[in-house]
Structure 1
Amino acid sequence: MYKMITCDMDETLLSDKREITPKTVAAIKKAVAAGVYFVPNTGRNFLTIQDNLETLGLLQKKGQYVISFNGGAIVENADLKVLMTQAIPFETARALWEIGYKKGYCTHIYTVDKLYIWNPTKTDSDYLTGRVDGWEEPKEEVTMLAKTPIVKVLFEISDENKRVEMQSYIEEKITANLNITFSSDRYIEFNDTNATKGKATQLLAEKLGIKMEEVIAVGDNGNDLSMIEASGLGVCMQNGRDFVKAKAQYVTENDNNNDGVAEIIQKFILN
């Protein structure tokens, strides 16, 4: 029996309209009522999905959790209690920032409670609107964050080939170990090597006394692979990337706009 579902947000749980479909909301609530943990597992800050938690009846719930920043933090929903963070060493974060900023890429720096954006673009702003609000556009360099834990850095690079080239460039220029992933067909994301969605899922499962074979992980893109491969049942959405589908044990018949997550819950939890 599966005891936990850990689920990506954008392009997985959320429709293209940035909503959770009513059928999916109902299925999640039934699963939670049956004693199954539903754990959003996102590259975003946990603060940006509080409205989604409210929709699911999980807002401020004790004993319910969110994994955010691609595994950079585990947070209990009640009182937004941060249980674990995995920060990038500042010198590494600064080196990443310098590369992104000097090359003119829209560059995000995430701390536990804030998002800073250098070189903002309209395409990035359009994508973030309705997902993330209240970011800051600093006029100074990243050294202002020297004493603040940084949990994620990313660049907006719309061309996939250029994202791949950037990954090779970073691996050549920066000797520190990094977890480098792609997301939303627009971002290359950098976390500490110990921060992955899969590792954070394992840590939370251990805390809850759940075996990894009792976990379902659902995603659509490269930053979801670690949790899909680590879990008892790894699922890729119908709208997911082909290389993720190849690693998954199950691919949904329905996409993120048509109750793909509800399909999983009905098939593997409620049936």
Structure 2
Amino acid sequence: MYKLIVCDLDETLLDRDARISKQNEQAIKAFVAQGGHFVPNTGRSFLSIQDDLQQLGLLQQPGQYVISYNGGAIVENAGNQVLTTNPLDFATVKQIYDIARAEQVSGHIYTLENLYVWQPSVAEQQYLEQRGVKHMPVPDDSLDFLRTQPLMKIILQDDDPARREALGKAIPKRVTTPLATTFSSGRYVEFNHVAADKGKATLQLAAKLGVKPDEIMALGDNSNDLAMITAAGLGVSVQNGTDVVKAAADYVTTADHAHSAVAEAIEKFALH
């Protein structure tokens, strides 16, 4: 029996309008009602998904959790209590930022509670606004204002997949700190601390809850979901997942993210 479900948000749980379908909502609530833990496992900030938690009945609930920043933080919903973090150091973030600016690539820097964006395109602004992601501009003069803040991850945005892949290969070779490099949403290459990934955070939370790996279901669509899909007892790719994710998964849904794929998997495998 599955006791813990970890689930990606964008392009997995959320539809094309960045919403949770009624079928997904009902399946998740049924799983939680039978005693399960449903944990959004996202690259985003836990603060940016409070409306989603409210819809699912998980907002401010003790014993329910969010994994944020690709495993960079584990947060209990009650009081948004941060339990663990795996931040990057300032020097590494600045190195990546300087490379990106020199290459004229836009991107995001996530602190524990804020998101700072530089040079977003009109399409990128619309993408963030559709998802209700609050953000602030990076000042043009310096990143020094971030020196004392916990830096969870830095991501670069480019519409060209070949360019994203090239950046993902080149940047880790140009910085001194080992990085965890992943891709997401068909638009981002993401850099985390090497100790942070969705799989490690899933197993860490499962151990806290007394849940065995074979009692975990993980659902995702892109490379930043691979670590949790392979760590879980049942790894699920939604139909719109990348070929690599589908190959790694134990089950591929017949539905895509726009047609309640998460509900399909929960109803098939996790409900009594």
Give me the TM-score of the superposition, normalised by structure 1. Answer: 0.98
Match of 1:192 in 2: 193
TM-superposed CA distance for 1:158, in Å, is 1.1
Match of 2:8 in 1: 8
Three-state SS of the structure 2 residue aligned to 1:11 is helix
Whether the 8 Å contact between 1:94 and 1:143 is mirrored in structure 2 is no
Within a 5 Å distance, the mapping from 1:49-60 to structure 2 comes to 49-60=49-60
Three-state SS of the structure 2 residue aligned to 1:39 is strand
Whether the 8 Å contact between 2:107 and 2:119 is mirrored in structure 1 is yes
Within a 5 Å distance, the mapping from 1:129-148 to structure 2 comes to 129-139=129-139, 140-148=141-149
Deviations 1:145-196 (A, max 9, x none): 1111100100101111111111221122113210000000000000000010
Between the aligned partners of 2:267 and 2:169, the Cα distance in structure 1 is: 41
Between the aligned partners of 1:141 and 1:100, the Cα distance in structure 2 is: 14
Amino acid at match of 1:52: D
Alignment coverage as a number of residue pairs: 271
Three-state SS of the structure 2 residue aligned to 1:257 is helix
Unmatched runs of 5 consecutive residues or more in structure 2: none
Match of 2:32 in 1: 32
Whether the 8 Å contact between 1:97 and 1:142 is mirrored in structure 2 is no
Match of 1:263 in 2: 264
Three-state SS of the structure 1 residue aligned to 2:257 is coil
Between the aligned partners of 1:211 and 1:142, the Cα distance in structure 2 is: 42
Three-state SS of the structure 2 residue aligned to 1:267 is helix
Within a 5 Å distance, the mapping from 1:92-241 to structure 2 comes to 92-139=92-139, 140-241=141-242
| Identical-pair percentage | 48
Amino acid at match of 1:166: L
Between the aligned partners of 2:125 and 2:258, the Cα distance in structure 1 is: 22
Three-state SS of the structure 2 residue aligned to 1:199 is helix
Amino acid at match of 2:61: K
Deviations 1:23-54 (A, max 9, x none): 11011100000011100000000011100000
Unmatched runs of 5 consecutive residues or more in structure 1: none
Between the aligned partners of 1:169 and 1:20, the Cα distance in structure 2 is: 36
Deviations 1:222-269 (A, max 9, x none): 100000011100000001111110110100011111111111111101
Whether the 8 Å contact between 1:101 and 1:107 is mirrored in structure 2 is no
Three-state SS of the structure 2 residue aligned to 1:238 is coil
TM-superposed CA distance for 1:217, in Å, is 0.4
1:17 aligns with 2:11: no
Between the aligned partners of 2:239 and 2:47, the Cα distance in structure 1 is: 28
Between the aligned partners of 1:63 and 1:172, the Cα distance in structure 2 is: 40
Whether the 8 Å contact between 2:2 and 2:270 is mirrored in structure 1 is yes
Amino acid at match of 1:263: E
Between the aligned partners of 2:87 and 2:175, the Cα distance in structure 1 is: 16
Deviations 1:42-77 (A, max 9, x none): 000001110000000001101100000000000000
